[in-house]
Amino acid sequence: IADVINGKAGLAVPYDQELLRDAILNILGDDRKRKEYGMRGRFLVQQEYSWSKIAGQVESLYLSILNAR
C-alpha cells in the first residue's frame, strides 16, 4: 500500500463511501491520470513482485527458519 499512497500508482481511500465514490469519479474523469496509474502500477508489479524476487524472499525465509533451529 505504501507504493499507492500519494498517488504513485493509485489512490488509498479511507473507509468512507462518499470518499470512495469521489475518488472513482475523479479517476474515471481523468484519462491521463488513469493511464499514468496503470503504467506505474504495472511497472511496480514487474519490479517488486516478479517470480524470481518472490522466490528469493521465500528462500531467505526458509533459510532463516532452518538456521534458527
The answer to whether the CB of 9 falls within 8 A of the CB of 37 is: yes
- 5-54 pLDDT, tens digit each: 667 788 888 899 999 999 999 999 999 999 999 999 898 888 888 899 89
pLDDT at 16: 94
At 69, is the pLDDT very low, low, confident or very high (cuts 50, 70, 90)? confident
Dihedral of CA atoms 23, 25, 26, 30 in degrees, nearest 10, equals 140
